[in-house]
Chains A and B, each alone.
Chain A
């Protein structure tokens, strides 16, 4: 947009003038480092708190959420229904709408070429619009939400491409659209289709292609494959991984399917009742889950080929966030709970290479003694 120059807002990234070398880099060659995870932090979320405010009171659907995402990394976020995954995604992309309100925290985002990170919380809509698609893109569960049903794919792609690069000719935009569609396994000919003419899986691929159109650094995905069959899911995700190798974008991938994340993600964050209760590498979380909820969740997925054992899931059901349990929100269901669990709020802290929010692990100075005296009757309820 012409207005990009000159009026640099105080918090905006400082690269408004120069074109980052890899923007629109999809057409270009493979970046030298095939797999682009570097130590560099792309996204740094600190203490993010989101509430749904109403007259009856407020529901804190994201509570003091902190994590980082490095360039090129896939961070999986797993949690059950109502744990706050979608709330987190809409807050990250600043697509949140009332009654949702971000009441605390910051989202520091540092796209390629930016001199320093910018806090997305409090950024003006106008400035956010510049970041969307070009630096950060979103893919939702229902591709229909992202695609305009009355526009052919090509028109939608061209719109997005040209909005972020007004120098692009129609013809180039068309060529790029064809290229993008091929990238996700569609044919260039499908550019002439309306979304409703495509199957669910094909639509979802088109949405991913659209998300990648402007070469973003971060793609945020909310249950992108929940509505498609496993075979299609695997094809889409295999494709996503290949593209990630090539284009080095980072992904925040939200799902209730932990078993899928274990295969897909580099690191996994487990959410329960609006809080992150554990973060670690996929292998660590799978082999040594530290939080009792993670353990229970892991044991809720029967193995595909390994020997079958009786599994039991997790007793009880997730809490009602309008009236969350005091202390650790998991305590009413926790098989390992002990005295302080119903009054002391565990915070996320390092345990080995993982981060865990559980009093068993991160009791803090005053709780050191409590670990030993677990009340057995706690299990009786």
Chain B
């Protein structure tokens, strides 16, 4: 019933798009295809924050545990999970805003440590972030022109004579046309969607290979979100960008990304090709998340059941200063056993190309 999207069609290229330029499928999803090496990679990174409480006491927030994630050219990876699950922490580790407690970030296979000055600039000319709030990356006192010029100059991407031309080209790339209408505007004179486009243009100014988008559309009006998603998809296709797309919205993640990775309370629990995760989720938390996401088709198709009917209270995510041992989902998991409480399960690769961390899937079962 749910398999309409199967049949080898790469749904991420949205084949029904009327004005789509036909392109060869570039990213075969067969698990055994040899993937090209990642541009940016998190290898087994853990991030614990030390926070000062009252009375000089300190505690540790175990925000991220042994997370691994690979970003490849021309592909979008979505990172989903509820609030506090560690998504932003992982993005910030990629952006070198923190030094991981353990594990490493690798750019084209090379470990990158903390950087300053020129070395940092070099890194950021390849890896850029786009935030939820476009004001976070734009100087609101200055015009679009100033914001873009600054980004271009810092990274030596434009000289005196071609800078104006380059700025117009950037605005063109994010579809802020006619560009002369936008270049002199202050950020607050733009709509939210336009502002986010400028923030994206600013990120693109340095010619990055990787863009990290931390909920880039969640502050936008509903009707303007799709436009930004389509823009990101176009940048992936036309410029071969590697994109990390962080979101709460699993339907939006499916629309945009080739791969979805699911986090829960600082642990990566499942990941793999988008359609597998959506149509065939394996981890109990992924199932809970999908079951809770709005899906009008479920209720309104004849014979569809009311999704609210069978919802049970399943508690809340844990406090990360004192997380449950083992699989952090175990207090809410209907299948939890003693092993779950003892240790976090190793990664199990499934024949579908998915991987999962769950004791229900014995490691080695399919490898």
Which of A's residues lie within 8 Å of B, judged by CB?
80-81, 185, 199, 201-202, 229-235, 237-239, 241, 256-260, 262-264, 282-283, 286-287, 296-297, 299-315, 317-318
Q: Cβ of B296: which chain A residues have Cβ within 8 Å of it?
A: 259, 262-263, 286, 301
Q: Are A304 and B293 in contact (CB under 8 A)?
A: yes
Q: Which residues of B contact A283 (CB under 8 A)?
A: 300
Contact A229 B248 (CB under 8 A): yes
Report how far A296 CA is from B227 CA in the complex, Å.
Answer: 12
CB neighbours (8 Å) of B317 from chain A are 229
> 8 Å CB contacts to A: which residues of B1-52?
2, 4-5, 11-12, 14, 16-18, 20
Q: How far is the CA of A375 from the CA of B192 in the complex (A)?
A: 30
**Do B288 and A307 touch (CB < 8 A)?**
no
Q: Provide the residues of chain A in CB contact with B288, threshold 8 Å.
A: 231
Chain A residues contacting B4 (CB-CB under 8 Å) are 306-307
A312 in contact with B308 (CB, 8 Å) = no
Taking CB atoms, residues of chain B closer than 8 Å to A229 are: 82-83, 248, 317
Decide: A263 near B11, CB < 8 A? Known: A296-B223, A308-B255, A309-B16. Answer: no
Q: Let me know if B299 and A262 touch, CB within 8 A.
A: yes
- Of all A-B residue pairs in the complex, the 10 with the closest CB atoms, nearest first, are A313-B226, A310-B17, A238-B311, A317-B191, A302-B255, A310-B14, A314-B223, A229-B82, A304-B295, A262-B296
Chain B residues whose C-beta falls within 8 Å of the C-beta of A297 in the assembled complex: 222-223
Given A260-B294, A287-B300, A304–B278 Cβ distance below 8 Å? yes
Q: Mark B300-322, 1 if CB is under 8 A from A, else 0.
A: 10000011110111101100000
CA distance A80 to B225 in the complex (A): 11
Please, which residues of chain B bring their CB within 8 A of the CB of A232?
Answer: 316
Which residues of chain A have C-beta atoms less than 8 A from B194's C-beta?
A: 317
- Contact check: which of B20, B82, B295 meets A305 at CB < 8 Å? B295
| B204: interface (CB < 8 Å) | no
Other than the given A230-B250, A315-B227, 14 more pairs (CB < 8 A) read: A230-B82, A234-B307, A238-B308, A263-B306, A297-B223, A300-B222, A301-B222, A302-B255, A305-B297, A306-B4, A307-B5, A308-B11, A313-B225, A314-B224
- Of A282, A299, A301, A305, which is within 8 A of B279 by CB? A305
B252 contacts A by Cβ under 8 Å: yes
Residue of B nearest to A263 (CB): B299
> Are B308 and A317 touching (Cβ within 8 A)?
no
In the bound complex, residues from chain A placing their C-beta under 8 Å from that of B122 are: none
Q: Measured between alpha carbons, how far is A374 from B314 in the docked complex, in Å?
A: 54
Which of chain B's residues 206-247 have a Cβ closer than 8 Å to chain A? 221-227, 230
**Given A202-B316, A263-B294, A310-B17, residue A230 in contact with residue B11 (CB < 8 A):** no
CB of B16, distance to nearest CB on chain A (Å): 4
Residues A308 and B299 in contact, CB atoms below 8 Å apart: no
Bound CA–CA A314/B193 (angstroms): 11
CB distance from B198 to the nearest CB of A (A): 14
CB within 8 Å for A263 and B295 given contacts A229-B248, A282-B300: yes
Nearest opposing residue in chain B for A185, CB measure: B313
* A231-B288, A317-B191, A317-B194 as given contacts; A302 in contact with B16, CB under 8 Å: no
Q: Which residues of B contact A (CB under 8 A)?
A: 2, 4-5, 11-12, 14, 16-18, 20, 82-83, 191-194, 221-227, 230, 248, 250-252, 254-255, 278-279, 288-300, 306-309, 311-314, 316-317
Which residues on A sit within 8 Å (CB–CB) of B230?
310, 312-313
Which single residue of chain A is at the shortest CB-CB distance from B316?
A: A199
CA distance A96 to B252 in the complex (A): 36
Set A257, A307, A310: member contacting B294, Cβ < 8 A = A257
Q: How many angstroms between the C-alpha atoms of A165 and B312 in the bound complex?
A: 34
Judging by beta carbons under 8 Å apart, are B278 and A305 in contact? yes
Central interface residue in A239, A262, A287, by most chain B CB within 10 Å:
A262
The reply to whether A318 and B221 form a contact with Cβ atoms under 8 Å apart is yes
Q: How far is the CA of A233 from the CA of B307 in the complex (A)?
A: 12
Q: How far is the CA of A318 from the CA of B221 in the complex (A)?
A: 9
State the CA gap A304–B289 with chains docked (Å): 12
Can you list 29 A-B contacts (CB < 8 A)? Answer: A80-B221, A80-B223, A81-B221, A199-B316, A202-B316, A231-B289, A234-B292, A234-B308, A235-B313, A256-B221, A257-B222, A258-B222, A262-B294, A263-B295, A263-B296, A263-B298, A286-B296, A286-B300, A300-B226, A302-B226, A302-B255, A304-B254, A305-B297, A308-B12, A311-B255, A312-B227, A315-B227, A317-B224, A318-B223
How far is B225's CA from A233's CA once the two chains are assembled, in angstroms?
Answer: 21
Measured CB to CB, the nearest residue on chain B to A333 is: B223
Are B193 and A231 in contact, CB atoms less than 8 angstroms apart?
A: no
Contacts of A308 in B (CB 8 A): 5, 11-12, 14, 254-255
Q: Across the two chains, which residue of chain A brings its CB closest to B278?
A: A305
Known: A230-B292, A287-B300, A308-B11. A300 touches B313 (CB 8 A): no
Q: Identify A263's interface contact among B83, B221, B254, B307, CB under 8 A.
A: B307
> With the chains together, A302 CA to B256 CA distance in Å?
10
Q: Are A305 and B255 within 8 A (Cβ)? A: no
Q: Is the CB of B221 within 8 A of A310?
A: no
Residue of B nearest to A309 (CB): B16
Q: B314 contacts A230, CB within 8 Å? A: no
Q: Which of A199, A229, A241, A318 is packed against the most chain B CB atoms within 10 Å?
A: A229
**A239 cross-chain contacts in B, Cβ below 8 A:** 313
**Residue of B191, B192, B311 with highest tally of chain A CB at under 10 A:** B311
Q: How far is the CA of A315 from the CA of B250 in the complex (A)?
A: 23
Residue of B whose beta carbon sits closest to that of A186: B313
- Establish whether residues A310 and B297, one from each chain, have CB atoms under 8 Å apart when the complex forms: no
B17 and A309: CB pair below 8 A?
A: yes
- Complex Cα spacing A372 to B300, Å: 33
Nearest-neighbor residue (CB-CB) of A240 within chain B:
B308
Distance between Cα atoms of A234 and B306 in the complex (Å): 12
Q: How far is the CB of A206 from chain B (nearest CB, A)?
A: 14
CA distance A23 to B308 in the complex (A): 27
B332: nearest chain-A partner, CB-CB: A231
Q: B18, B221, B254: which contacts A302 (Cβ < 8 A)?
A: B254
